[in-house]
Amino acid sequence: MKSPSSTPENGPGIGGTQMGLKQRDRKREDPSMNTNPDLASDWTPPERIRPIAIGLIVADGHVLLMEVRDRTGFLKGFRPVGGGIEFGESAEQALLREFREELGWEPHAASLLTVCENRFEHNGAPGHEIVFVFSGERPEGAPAPLPDTRLDFLDHGVATSIRWVAPDELERVPIYPEAIEPLLRTAIAGT
């Protein structure tokens, strides 16, 4: 895991409202759309284009997703696990490193699905990412996709959670970046 002294450029990313794109109306009465001050995030996007790698990990019809919270702790939505690509590493190497560093899991090789651009706003600041989207199998050490199973951890010093999300939840909560939602549905349908 990264220490709390990690740079803000390496923060969680991919959260927020898409700039220039209208968010689809989603039900907000979902009980998982709560506010938890202990999980508040002051992270703001860096003022540069940031390359990142994320993994669509699907098992038993559920997808492994990380919570995206704002500075009040409000759960804004979910995003796949991943993070920034460091100088000198490939996008796949970055994804595998993020799983090892943040979760202690040894991921299997990943397959590149697509690359997309993500322009968004999070905690009042604009962000811009080039997103390498990979598919993969459940990593060794990852819990089975059971209902209400959450794993809390530090993402560059910020408390966060991941959990297996069921297909019906994808209708009730935003997924970031929005461009990957069709890929998520296809991946879930293929399991």
Counting residues of the chain whose pLDDT is more than 90, the rounded percentage is 28
If you average pLDDT over each of 38-47, 87-96, 135-144, 170-179, which comes out highest? Answer: 87-96
Q: Residue 142 and residue 107: Cα distance in Å, rounded? A: 9
pLDDT score of 107 more than 50: yes
For the ranges 6-10, 148-152, 173-177, the maximum mean pLDDT occurs at 173-177
Q: In 41-190, which residue ranges form alpha helices assigned H by DSSP? A: 91-98, 181-189
Q: Nearest Cα to 117, choosing from 105, 107, 127, 106?
A: 127
Q: Which of 51-55, 83-87, 95-99, 156-160 has the lowest mean pLDDT?
A: 156-160
Helix, coil or strand: residue 13: coil
| DSSP conformation class of 95 | H
Domains and CATH numbers, the chain: 8-189 (3.90.79.10)
Beta bridge partners of 134: 55, 112
How far apart, in Å, are the Cα atoms of 45 and each of 38, 66, 77? 21, 17, 17
Q: CA distances (Å), 4 to each of 15, 54, 92, 102, 114, in order?
A: 20, 21, 24, 12, 31
Query: If we measure between CA atoms, which residue out of 190, 174, 181, 150 comes closest to residue 68?
Result: 174
For position 6, what pLDDT does the model report?
32
Tokens of 187: 């991946």
